[in-house]
Amino acid sequence: MGQIFVEQSAVIPAPPEKVYAILSDYRVGHPAILPRPYFRELAVEEGGQGAGTVLRVQMEVMGVKQSYHMRVSEPEPGRILVEEDPEAGVKTTFTVAPLNGGLRSLVTIATASRTSPGLRGLIERLVNPPLTRRIYRQELQQLSDYVQRIE
């Protein structure tokens, strides 16, 4: 089995604290920035704010449905947020870095995921990275739009 790594960044016109607060809020903020129709559902099972949150995420991309059971951690609270489903072999990291003296933020979404064996894995390695980057560009744009709406 192989692994895919996909990363996408964008400058968000808001302070890092505000951006991180949205990302770590799994009841209101984070669901509000998820691109439809790819993200079908985000259901919080435990917590809802940052580390310790447990959630179920359902996605559909190109007709393929996936469900993830994610656990959230904060290796660097206020800067790095991680969602991980070890069983599915998926780990997504959100990194928020200050820009312009903290007036803006550089947000990076990075995912490492395990691929299937054989031909299916080859297809995943070819198709998934550009699709995932497109989804992340949309998510980052929705984050930018959302942060400006709630100001």
pLDDT digits (tens, 9 = 90+) for 94-138: 999 999 999 999 999 999 998 888 887 778 788 889 899 999 999
User: How far is residue 93's CA from residue 85's CA, in Å, rounded to a whole number?
Assistant: 12
Q: Does residue 62 surpass a pLDDT of 70?
A: yes
Domains and CATH numbers, the chain: 3-149 (3.30.530.20)
Q: State residue 141's pLDDT score.
A: 97
Q: Is the peptide bond before 31 cis (omega within 30 degrees of 0)?
A: no
Helix 16-23 with 118-149: angle, nearest 10 deg: 130
Q: Does residue 51 surpass a pLDDT of 70?
A: yes
Q: State residue 47's pLDDT score.
A: 97
Q: How would residue 34 be classed by pLDDT, with cut points 50, 70 and 90?
A: very high
Q: Does residue 55 surpass a pLDDT of 70?
A: yes
Q: State residue 1's pLDDT score.
A: 64
